[in-house]
Amino acid sequence: MLEEGSKVSTREKLRTYLLHRWVHRRWFYTHWDLFIQQPLGRLGLIMIFIFGLMALSHPILMKTLWHPTIFDPFVGFDTAIMPHPTTPSWRHLLGTDNFGRDVLSQLLISTQTSFSVGIIAAIIAVTISTLLGGMAGYFGGVIDAIIMGISDVFVLLPAPILLLIFGLLFRLEWPMVAIAYGIVTGLGGQTIVVKSHTLKIKVKPFIEAARAAGGGGGHIIRKHILPGLLSLTIVHAVFTVVGAVLTESLLSYFGRTRYYLSWGTMIWIGQQTFRWFTLEGQWHVILPPALAIMLFCSAFYLVGRALDEVFNPQLRVR
Amino acid sequence: MFKFIIRRVVRAFVALILFQSLLFTLIHALPYDVTAFTLAGPSWREFMQRQLGLDLPLWTQYFRWLGKFLQFDLGVSFQNWPASVSQILFSRISRTLLLFFSAAILAYLLGIWLGKVIAWRRGGWVEFGVTLGGVATYTSFAPWLGFVMINIFGWYLGWLPYQRLVNPNVWFNAPVMIDSLLARMVVTCVIACGAFLVVRRASQSIKTNHWRWTSQAGGIVIIGFGIGAWWSRSGLSYLALDVLAHLTLPLATVVLLSFGETMMIMRAAMLETKHEDYVLTARAKGLPDQVIRDRHVARNAILPVITRLALNLPFILVGSLVIERVFMWQAMGEIIFNAIEYQDIPVILGILSMVGILALIAHILLDILYTYLDPRVRYIGVE
C-alpha cells in the first residue's frame, strides 16, 4: 500500500514538474522572441558574446599560438622588434606598449577581469536589493523601518570615492572592488526601488486571490512576488555591471589597484608614456582598452534596455 | 502635508546622523596617522597630536566632531593647519558649481529634448542613431573622453585653451580674484535662467505659434543683451571670457557624458505615459501632434528625470574628481585628491558629509515636489 502510494505520488510529482518545465519553456520562448525582435538588443547580445569569446580565448591562445615569453601580458618582451612601443603589425596585431608587451594579450586578459567584476557586483547587488527590498515591502513595520534607514544612509555614499579612500591604505584587488560596489549600490538606491515596486505588486488583486485560495506567505513570495520583481532585478543587474566596470576602470586608472591588468590600467600606462603633441604617439595603446570599456558597457546597457522593453509591456512598439 | 514634511525631515535627520557615524567609522577604521610623517622627532609628534586632538580616545573624538558638525563647524584641516575646512571648501565650491550646474542644465535640456524626439518616432534610423550615440557617450570612459577632447579641440585644431582654470597672462594685474568672479558668473547664470523662465511663462498666454516663438526669441535676445551690457560695464568681461573659454571643453565633456542617461529615462517615461487615456482624449480633440508631445506627454513624463537628478547628486563629486583631474581645473576634485593623498581626515569627512547634506535636502525637496507635480501621490496613510 505504502509503496504503491509513494510510487503514484512520484509519478504525479514528475508530471507536475514536466508541466512546469513546459510552461516555463513557453515563457522563455515568448520573451526571447520579444527580445530578439529588437535590433539594438540583438547588437548588445552579439557584443557581449564577442567579449565572452575574448575572455575565454586568452588562455587558449597562450597555450597554443603565443609563445609565453613574448606574449605574456605582464612580463612578455619581444626582442625581435625594437624599439618599443611599436605600431600594429602582423606579429603583434595591436602593437606593443612601451614595456614591450603585446597589447592584444593585455586586452584579452583584462576582459576576464572586467567580466568577473561586473558579474560578481551584479549578483551581490541584486541579491541584496531583492532580499531586503522585498522584505521591506512585503512585511512592512519595523523591518521596513530598519531597512529603509540603512538604505537612506547608503544612497548618499558614492562608491567610487569610498573605494578611492580605501585604496590609499591597501592596493585594491578586483574582487574587493566588485564586492564593495555591489554592497553599496545594492543597499542604496536599488533597495528603495525594489521596495516601492513590491508595494505596487502587493496591492494587486491576484495576491488577494492567492491568499483567498489559501496560499501561505512563502507560496505568495515565491510564486507571485519574486516573478513580479524579476524584470526589475534583471535591469538592475545589467546597470550594476556597467557601473562596476566603469568604477573598476576608474580606480585602476587612478592607480589605486594592485598590479593586475584591467582596461583602466592599460589606459593609465598608455597615457603615462603618451608623447604629447605628437599624434603618432601611442594611440594604439590607449584606443583599444577605451573602446573596449565603451563597447562592453554599451552592450550591457543595450541589453538592459531591450530587456526593459520585453518586461514592460507599455514600452513595446506594438 | 505639514505632518508629512515634519516626518520626512526627522527621518532625514536620523539618516544624516547615521551617515556621519558610518563615515567616521569607515575613515577611522583605516590606520591613518597624519603625524607619522613628521621628521621633527617624537616630542613634536606628541605636540601635533595634542594640537589636532588625536590623542583623545576615539569615541571622544567622535562626539566632539559630531557636536561641532551639528553647529555647522567642520573642524580644522590637518594639511593647511590653521585654515578651517569650511573655509577651504567655500573657497573652491563656486568653481565646481559653475561647471556642474551649467553642465547639468545643458545635459538635461539636451537629454529631455532628444528623449522626446526618439520616443515619439519609434523605429527608424533617427532612433537607432541617437540611441547608439547617446549610449556610446554615456558609457565611454570619462578620462579618455576628456583626453580625446583635449587632443582634438585643444591641440590638433587649436580652437580652445585647456589644462588650466584661467590664463595667467590675461589675469596679470586683474582687479578681482578668480573666485569672486566665478561667484558673480554663477549668480549671472541663475538670474539668466530665472529671467528665461519668466519670459517663457509670460509667453505661454500668447495663442498664435509664431508670435509666441518670436516673443520668446526676443526675450532671450533682450536677456543676452542685458547681461552683456552689465558685464561690459563692470569692466571684467575679458576675464569672464577667459574663464568661459577654459570652461568650454570640460563642460562639453560633462554634457556628453551625462545626457545619454537623461535621454533614455525620458524616452522610457514618455513611452509609458503615451498610452494614457488623456493622450487619447487630446488626440480625439484634434490637437496638433507637437502640442500633444510637449504639453500632454512630456510634462507628465518628466517626473522620473527629476528623481534621477536628485539621486545623482552625490555622483557630482565623482564627476568633479575625474573631469577636474583630466582638465587640471583646480576645484573641489583637487581638494579631495590632496586630502586623500595627505590623509587629511577632516577635509575628507567634511566634503563627504556636505555632499550627503545636499543630497538629503534634494531628497526632501523631491518628495515635497512630487505631491505638487503628481497629485496621484498622496502621503496620508500610504507611508
pLDDT at A286: 85
| Residue A261 Rama label (left phi>0; alpha psi -120 to 50; beta) | beta
Query: Are residues A22 and A125 located together in one domain of the fold?
Result: no
- Interface contact flag, B155 A277, Cβ < 8 Å: yes
CA distance A288 to A277: 20
Q: Which residue of B has its CA nearest to A40?
A: B128
Please determine, for residue A272, whether its predicted confidence score (pLDDT) is greater than 80: no
The set of cell numbers assigned to B327 is 582638465
pLDDT at A47: 93
The set of cell numbers assigned to B61 is 573624538
8 Å CB contact between B95 and B330: yes
- Interface contact flag, B131 A40, Cβ < 8 Å: yes
Q: In chain A, which residues have their Cβ closer than 8 Å to the Cβ of B360?
A: 156
- Interface contact flag, B15 A149, Cβ < 8 Å: yes
Of the candidates A115, A169, A165, A148, the residue with the CA atom closest to the CA atom of residue B7:
A148
pLDDT at A95: 79
Q: Nearest CA of chain A to the CA of B173: how many Å? A: 31
8 Å CB contact between A173 and A260: yes
pLDDT at A85: 74
pLDDT at A3: 52
For A297, which of B15, B139, B356 is closest by C-beta distance? B139
Is A31 inside a domain boundary? yes
Confidence of residue A171 (pLDDT cuts 50, 70, 90): confident
Non-local CB neighbours of A191 within 8 Å, separated by 6+ positions? A128, A129, A132, A133, A136, A147, A150, A151
Amino acid of residue B153:
F
Of the candidates A268, A250, A277, A296, the residue with the CA atom closest to the CA atom of residue A97:
A268
Residue A107 sits at φ, ψ, to 5 deg, of: -60, -45
The b/e string for B201-217 (b: 16+ C-beta within 10 A; e otherwise) is: eebeeeeeeeeeeebbe
- Interface contact flag, A314 B275, Cβ < 8 Å: yes
Non-local CB neighbours of B200 within 8 Å, separated by 6+ positions? B216, B219
Q: In chain B, which residues have their Cβ closer than 8 Å to the Cβ of A147?
A: none
For A301, which of B15, B135, B341 is closest by C-beta distance? B135
Q: How far apart are the first and last CA of chain B?
A: 12
Query: Are residues A148 and A231 located together in one domain of the fold?
Result: yes
pLDDT at B380: 45
pLDDT at A277: 46
| Residue B38 Rama label (left phi>0; alpha psi -120 to 50; beta) | beta
pLDDT, tens digit, 9 for 90 and up, residues B259-286: 988 898 888 888 888 888 888 888 888 8
Query: Are residues A85 and A11 located together in one domain of the fold?
Result: no
Q: Which residue of A has its CA nearest to B31?
A: A169
Instruction: Tell me whether A286 touches chain B (CB under 8 Å).
Output: yes
Please determine, for residue A172, whether its predicted confidence score (pLDDT) is greater than 90: no
Confidence of residue A228 (pLDDT cuts 50, 70, 90): confident
Amino acid of residue B320:
S
Is A111 inside a domain boundary? yes
The set of cell numbers assigned to B196 is 528665461
Instruction: Tell me whether A242 touches chain B (CB under 8 Å).
Output: yes
CA distance A269 to A255: 10
Instruction: Tell me whether A293 touches chain B (CB under 8 Å).
Output: yes
Helix (H) or strand (E) holding B380: none
Confidence of residue A315 (pLDDT cuts 50, 70, 90): low
Query: Are residues A6 and A131 located together in one domain of the fold?
Result: no
Query: Are residues A12 and A69 located together in one domain of the fold?
Result: no
Instruction: Tell me whether A191 touches chain B (CB under 8 Å).
Output: no
Please determine, for residue B69, whether its predicted confidence score (pLDDT) is greater than 80: yes
Q: Nearest CA of chain B to the CA of A157: how many Å? A: 7
Please determine, for residue A157, whether its predicted confidence score (pLDDT) is greater than 80: yes
Q: In chain B, which residues have their Cβ closer than 8 Å to the Cβ of A163?
A: none
Confidence of residue A317 (pLDDT cuts 50, 70, 90): low
Please determine, for residue A70, whether its predicted confidence score (pLDDT) is greater than 90: no
Query: A149-158, B143-152, B202-211, B326-335: which has the minimum mean pLDDT?
Result: B202-211
Percent of chain A at pLDDT > 70 equals 92
Is A152 inside a domain boundary? yes
Instruction: Tell me whether A212 touches chain B (CB under 8 Å).
Output: no
pLDDT at A119: 93
Q: Nearest CA of chain A to the CA of B377: how many Å? A: 13
Please determine, for residue B132, whether its predicted confidence score (pLDDT) is greater than 60: yes
Round the average pLDDT of chain B to a whole number and report it.
Answer: 84
- Interface contact flag, B348 A165, Cβ < 8 Å: yes
Q: For chain B, where are the alpha helices, taking DSSP H only?
A: 2-29, 42-52, 58-70, 85-120, 125-139, 142-149, 178-203, 209-234, 237-273, 277-284, 289-291, 298-301, 303-311, 315-326, 332-341, 345-373
8 Å CB contact between A209 and A155: no
Is A41 inside a domain boundary? no
Is A121 inside a domain boundary? yes
Query: Are residues A151 and A31 located together in one domain of the fold?
Result: no
Query: Are residues A185 and A258 located together in one domain of the fold?
Result: yes
pLDDT at B357: 87
pTM score of the predicted model: 0.86
Confidence of residue A4 (pLDDT cuts 50, 70, 90): low
Q: In chain A, which residues have their Cβ closer than 8 Å to the Cβ of B11?
A: 152
CA A115 to each of CA A51, A230, A247, B286: distance values in angstroms, whole numbers, following the listed order: 8, 22, 13, 52
pLDDT, tens digit, 9 for 90 and up, residues B151-197: 888 888 888 888 788 888 888 877 888 888 888 888 888 898 899 88
Query: Are residues A29 and A71 located together in one domain of the fold?
Result: no
Q: Nearest CA of chain B to the CA of A48: how many Å? A: 15
Query: Are residues A20 and A97 located together in one domain of the fold?
Result: no
Sequence spans of domains, chain B: 1-89+331-383, 93-175+236-323
Q: Residue A209: how many CA atoms within 13 Å on its side-chain side?
A: 6
Residue B330 sits at φ, ψ, to 5 deg, of: -75, 95
Which of B122, B139, B382 best tests the A interface by mutation, with the highest count of A CBs <10 A?
A: B139
CA distance B130 to A248: 27
8 Å CB contact between B238 and B170: yes
Please determine, for residue B213, whether its predicted confidence score (pLDDT) is greater than 50: yes
Q: In chain B, which residues have their Cβ closer than 8 Å to the Cβ of A275?
A: none
Which CATH number is B93-175+236-323 given? 1.10.3720
For B356, which of A156, A253, A294 is closest by C-beta distance? A156
Q: Which residue of B has its CA nearest to A314?
A: B272
Is A202 inside a domain boundary? yes
For B139, which of A277, A294, A317 is closest by C-beta distance? A294
For A160, which of B15, B318, B356 is closest by C-beta distance? B318
Of the candidates B222, B180, B97, the residue with the CA atom closest to the CA atom of residue B230:
B222
Query: Are residues A144 and A2 located together in one domain of the fold?
Result: no
Is A2 inside a domain boundary? yes
CA distance A205 to A195: 18
User: Which domain, by its residues, includes A13?
Assistant: 1-36
Total tally of structural domains belonging to chain A: 2
Q: In chain B, which residues have their Cβ closer than 8 Å to the Cβ of A312?
A: 268, 272
For A156, which of B19, B132, B268 is closest by C-beta distance? B19
pLDDT at B365: 86
For A169, which of B31, B132, B336 is closest by C-beta distance? B31
- The CATH number covering residue A222 comes to 1.10.3720.10
DSSP string, A148-214: HHHHHHHTT--HHHHHHHHHHHSPBPHHHHHHHHHHHHIIIIIHHHHHHHHHHHHTSHHHHHHHHTT
Of the candidates B95, B76, B64, B23, the residue with the CA atom closest to the CA atom of residue B328:
B95
**What would the mean pLDDT of B95-115 be, rounded to a whole number?**
88
Please report the beta strands in chain A, taking only residues with DSSP state E, as ranges in sequence order.
none
Q: Nearest CA of chain B to the CA of A16: how many Å? A: 37
Which of A165, A195, A274, A307 best tests the B interface by mutation, with the highest count of B CBs <10 A?
A: A165
Total CB pairs under 8 A between chain A and B: 120
Q: In chain B, which residues have their Cβ closer than 8 Å to the Cβ of A298?
A: 132, 135-136, 139
Instruction: Tell me whether A230 touches chain B (CB under 8 Å).
Output: no
Instruction: Tell me whether A317 touches chain B (CB under 8 Å).
Output: yes
**Angle made by CA atoms A23, A24, A29, in degrees to the nearest 5:** 100
DSSP string, B137-195: HHHS-HHHHHHHHIIIIIIIS--S--SSSS-TTTTTT-SS-HHHHHHHHHHHHHHHHHH
- Interface contact flag, B131 A267, Cβ < 8 Å: no
